[in-house]
Structure 1
Amino acid sequence: MILVGLWFSRKNKSAAQFTTASGSIPGWALGLSLYATFLSSNTFLGVPGKSFGSNWNALVFSLSMPLAAFIAAKYFVPFYRHSGEVSAYTHLEHRFGPWARTYAMVCFILTQLARMGSIFFGVALALQALTGLDMRTIMAVTGVCIIVYTVLGGMEAVIWTEVMQGVVKTVGALVILGLVIVGMKDGVSDIFRIGMADGKFSMGSFNPLDFGSSTFWVVFLYGFFMNLNNFGMDQNYVQRYHAARSEKEASRSIWLCVYWYVPVSIVFFFIGTALYAYAQQHPEAILAVKQQVATERHVSVESLVPADYGDKVLPWFMVEKVPKGLMGLIVAAILSAAMSTVSSGMNSSATVFLKDIYQRYINPSPSPKKEMRVLYIATTISGLLAIIFGIAMIGVQSILDMWWELSGIFAGGMLGLFLLGLVSKTKNATAVTATLVGVAVIIWMSLSKYLPATWEQFRSPMHVHMVIVVGTLSIFLVGMVLTRIKQLKTSKS
């Protein structure tokens, strides 16, 4: 990957090349790049851990992707391509003022740091089991390598390495699944029999009125709003729309991402269920994992349930059951799962810093050489901060749960403000009020669970997945209602 960065560094002479590859990327490569970004270590390790510990409820997130992709391909891609702005947040300043751009930019950077940190933590969790190295060392070495090739090669290196990484990750997942199936007494039939008996294929309750638990509809709503944010407001994706050769190829890349990600995510859920069935047939084999977790948490082995050690089962299986001849492929797949998402996160964070902070507040017209220096420094700093975030996450029980919670908190207000500006004729003052209301709702829903028992009546009754849903709708609907009230007052006067 570092050699790929060196190869593309020859062309990396301008900010346009560094941030959008000068619009030279074919649609198929862009689609695979988006797919690889989605398929991070949160999917590679978190999804099997989730399905091992519970069921297929989280798969509903993937099932919501086509609906979000339809809206993005039809409305968001043309909007950004016609705007000509590389930053996803510049238009918010044109629409509402500098505060809106700054608010969205801060939300994006916090989301990226949380995401990259969780990915570093996931890859360190797996490689610690494989190598015995300290997790902090793994994060530091991996992070430095990613920083080097991202700084050298820019967006073009990021996209083409993600194409390779996407293929490696997919092959690695299929190899792991094949090895688990081979380890079962009667193969796939045993997995379905045990999984069906223990409800492992369930996608959750279909009660449309229950918003307090992780039902099918709660996860679907979360997935739809989160994917809408990814395709519509996330600089990672918006930047790729500009990297495509044409608007048509940019739209196609979104659908190619969906066509790949949805079936492959099913493979990862099946891996988790297969590992659960394997553990039922080989209870003595999984005992080492349970003993490790019990020691870390100072509890008895008997008190543990599958959800307590789900994230550690796949790394354990790779250590104990993957033949040495295939171990290199699996390690490469795990590293690819981290590198693809983190490298694009670093590049997009650096782009946001250049466009929305440096050129907006410090130096509006830097020279090409100065722009490149700022991009190099910002990429490096974002990578180092991501490593620190990853180290801070050591000890988290579920990678996927943690990432979903953090992303819902940071992304809700950003998406609501974007939709308000896109759909309505809301003025600046109204948008400020709507955003303040939305942020207050997000803070209450996110933090009220920490209120003491005596204040239980003030806690949010909704599941944490509803934060992005309610936060987005709060900003959008409050803005629309206030705008309508003002219009009525104006017409009467």
Structure 2
Amino acid sequence: MSNLRVLDLSIIALYLLAMIAVGVYFARKNVNPEQYSSASGSIPGWAIGLSIYATFLSSNTFLGVPGKAFGTNWNAFVFSLSMPLAAWVAARYFVPFYRSTGEISAYTHLEHRFGSWARTYAVVCFLLTQLARIGSIFFGIALTLQALTGFSMEMIMLCTGICIIVYTVLGGIEAVIWTEVVQGVIKTFGALLILYLIIENMPGGLPNVVAIGQQHDKFSLGGFLPDFTQSTFWVVLLYGFFINLNNFGVDQNYVQRYHTAASAKQAAKSIWLCVWLYLPASLLFFVIGSALFAYYQVHPELIEAVKLKVAAEKLPLTATAAQISQAAAQLLPSDYGDKVMPHFMVTKIPSGFVGLIVSAILSAAMSTISSGMNASATVFTADIYERYFKPNLNMRQTMRMLHLGTVVVGLLGMGTGIAMIGVKSVLDVWWELSGIFAAGMLGLFLLGVISRQTGNHEALTATIIGVLVILWMTFSGKLPEELASFRNPLHKSMIIVVGTLTIFLVGLLLTKWRGAKAVPPEPTLAAAEQVH
């Protein structure tokens, strides 16, 4: 049974139709692959910056961050604090590099440096990362809309996915960027509206939110001791730096946008605009999570329905009401954090405003999914299909493959989202998967750009060792108790840090070793005398 009123449904329907209309409008301009993938370098820097900001501000942020703050604290905010340093590296080094190559794909350079295997490996890592990202975002939006509409999560993913596929296929990167500009504004306004409504309903207002948050240590950024086995301040800071370096420097989603700018200066400015917008915006979502925690501490009876539902999902269908109630009493806030904001929207936000906020959440999902689909289709066409199956595609064939790739990635992303149904925290799942897939890609890229002496054999050996380390760190926790000493002792967020450094440092060491072997030995005194 739908919890949405006619006004809310009308607002949501109008928003979805508007997005499709944008795709139809820009479809007239997409007459060649360059326009479809890079908008022929005609997008102003401020629009690209808003577009990158909207991509960062996905439904993982809109739903996962408040859920994380509700269930734990502000430890995950340290991720945002790492962005300026990564942005500086990207603006100073990566943007000029990509603009100078002229290649639309971020991974063509790796083939020039190390061979076709390196390009293919990076592409596979990128595509897996995109499936994880798109799937987690589909899951997040379905989680919210299920609470509001009563429809199954599978049906919600299918309906929203079709709308996103249609406007992305029709509009290309230009439609993606300009809709993301609008979506960035909508989702920021929606977050501010949610916070206002929470504080408005909160007895004692904001001071009481702060008092309850301090009482329960909700504003902690994590421990500052050098402990890498837990999610401390330093673990999240390192994770955030490496992931953001991967985003700004290697991820096709962002690299493709650098080519849509009129100049390298405009592209660099877009990165900084994204950072200065995202920092306060992400803080806003942590405040929302803490405010929701305080609100339900004051009104614990209002969250009881959510706890009972989560407890029932964990128990067999034959569980009695008493067993469900007992299990609900034992739940921690982290067990149901992702479901709190949708519950608040259902029960406390007035008609009309729900439609606006759902539109904001939809925009958060659509912006990231559409850009991921467009970038994935571009990479698949340029780096896989044209490279291995059919070189020298004509314009019509390239456009057909771009459209087909967009559709396929969208459908696979929906399937990934369906597979995620039942996970505890969408933000945790996304962080773990992105760290695993991005580690090898970033390490190989840094090795290729920084060490000009590293050759194919050193890079391949380093990548194999790095992948083995990543696999061990990921799966060693499942080893039986008798092999517990072989388990990864570090926190899972350290996978991208260790994996990236392993590939990079092993590559440097092998290069140095090869160089040492190649240097001829110093002539001895006897040999010198024989020459004379």
Give the TM interval when normalised to the shorter protein.
over 0.9
1:260 aligns with 2:277: yes
State the AA in 2 paired with 1:488: A
Q: Which residue of 1 aligns with 2:345?
A: 318
Aligned-residue offset at 1:364: 1.5
Over residues 368-412 of structure 1, what are the superposed CA-to-partner deviations in whole Å (9 max), with x where a residue is unaligned?
011100111110000000000000100000000000000000000
Q: Which residue of 1 aligns with 2:395?
A: 368
Aligned-residue offset at 1:216: 0.1
Over residues 173-196 of structure 1, what are the superposed CA-to-partner deviations in whole Å (9 max), with x where a residue is unaligned?
000000000111111000100001
Secondary structure in structure 2 of the residue aligned to 1:324: coil
Aligned-residue offset at 1:325: 2.3
State the AA in 2 paired with 1:226: I
Give distance in 2, aligned partners of 1:206 and 1:301. 33
Q: Which residue of 2 aligns with 1:213?
A: 230
Q: Which residue of 2 aligns with 1:175?
A: 193
Secondary structure in structure 2 of the residue aligned to 1:394: coil
Give distance in 2, aligned partners of 1:337 and 1:132. 21
Q: 1:255-294 maps to which residues of 2 (within 5 A)?
A: 255-294=272-311
1:306 aligns with 2:333: yes
Unaligned 5+ segments in structure 1 are none
**Range with greater deviation from structure 2 (351-360 or 116-125):** 351-360
Percent of matched pairs sharing the same residue: 66
Aligned-residue offset at 1:127: 0.4
Give distance in 2, aligned partners of 1:271 and 1:297. 27
Q: Which residue of 2 aligns with 1:400?
A: 427
Q: Which residue of 1 aligns with 2:16?
A: none
Which of 160, 170, 178 in structure 2 is aligned with 1:160? 178
Give distance in 1, aligned partners of 2:500 and 2:280. 29
Give distance in 2, aligned partners of 1:220 and 1:487. 35
Q: Which residue of 1 aligns with 2:153?
A: 135
Give distance in 2, aligned partners of 1:120 and 1:144. 12
Which of 108, 133, 141 in structure 1 is aligned with 2:126? 108
Q: What's the TM-score, normalizing by structure 2?
A: 0.92
Give distance in 2, aligned partners of 1:282 and 1:366. 63
Which of 80, 84, 88 in structure 1 is aligned with 2:106? 88
Give distance in 2, aligned partners of 1:180 and 1:17. 44
Aligned-residue offset at 1:245: 1.0
Aligned-residue offset at 1:492: 3.9
Give distance in 2, aligned partners of 1:456 and 1:263. 42
Aligned-residue offset at 1:305: 0.5
Q: 1:313-392 maps to which residues of 2 (within 5 A)?
A: 313-392=340-419
State the AA in 2 paired with 1:79: F
State the AA in 2 paired with 1:222: Y
Q: Which residue of 1 aligns with 2:7?
A: none
Q: Which residue of 2 aligns with 1:470?
A: 498
Q: 1:186-197 maps to which residues of 2 (within 5 A)?
A: 186-197=204-215
Q: Which residue of 1 aligns with 2:517?
A: 489
State the AA in 1 paired with 2:360: A
Aligned-residue offset at 1:337: 0.9
Over residues 259-297 of structure 1, what are the superposed CA-to-partner deviations in whole Å (9 max), with x where a residue is unaligned?
110100000000000000001100100111111101111
Give distance in 2, aligned partners of 1:181 and 1:454. 52
Q: 1:381-460 maps to which residues of 2 (within 5 A)?
A: 381-424=408-451, 425-460=453-488
Secondary structure in structure 2 of the residue aligned to 1:11: coil
State the AA in 2 paired with 1:334: I
State the AA in 1 paired with 2:137: I
Secondary structure in structure 1 of the residue aligned to 2:385: helix
Query: Considering only CA atoms, is the larger Rg found in Structure 1 or Structure 2?
Result: 2
Give distance in 2, aligned partners of 1:485 and 1:193. 59
Q: Which residue of 1 aligns with 2:507?
A: 479
Q: Which residue of 2 aligns with 1:75?
A: 93
Secondary structure in structure 1 of the residue aligned to 2:219: coil
Give distance in 2, aligned partners of 1:148 and 1:385. 15
State the AA in 2 paired with 1:173: A
Secondary structure in structure 1 of the residue aligned to 2:259: helix
Aligned-residue offset at 1:485: 1.2
Give distance in 2, aligned partners of 1:328 and 1:311. 20
1:237 aligns with 2:254: yes
Give distance in 1, aligned partners of 2:478 and 2:134. 26
Give distance in 2, aligned partners of 1:469 and 1:402. 17
1:46 aligns with 2:42: no
Aligned-residue offset at 1:490: 1.5
Displaced runs of 4+ in structure 1, greater than 2 A? none
Secondary structure in structure 1 of the residue aligned to 2:492: coil
1:145 aligns with 2:163: yes
Unaligned 5+ segments in structure 2 are 1-18, 316-323, 522-532
Q: Which residue of 1 aligns with 2:242?
A: 225
Aligned-residue offset at 1:489: 1.7
Give distance in 1, aligned partners of 2:241 and 2:64. 20
Give distance in 2, aligned partners of 1:265 and 1:358. 38
State the AA in 2 paired with 1:294: A
State the AA in 2 paired with 1:281: V
Aligned-residue offset at 1:147: 0.3
Give distance in 1, aligned partners of 2:450 and 2:246. 15
Aligned-residue offset at 1:452: 1.2
Over residues 189-248 of structure 1, what are the superposed CA-to-partner deviations in whole Å (9 max), with x where a residue is unaligned?
00100001110000000012x110000000000000000000001000000000111110
State the AA in 2 paired with 1:353: F
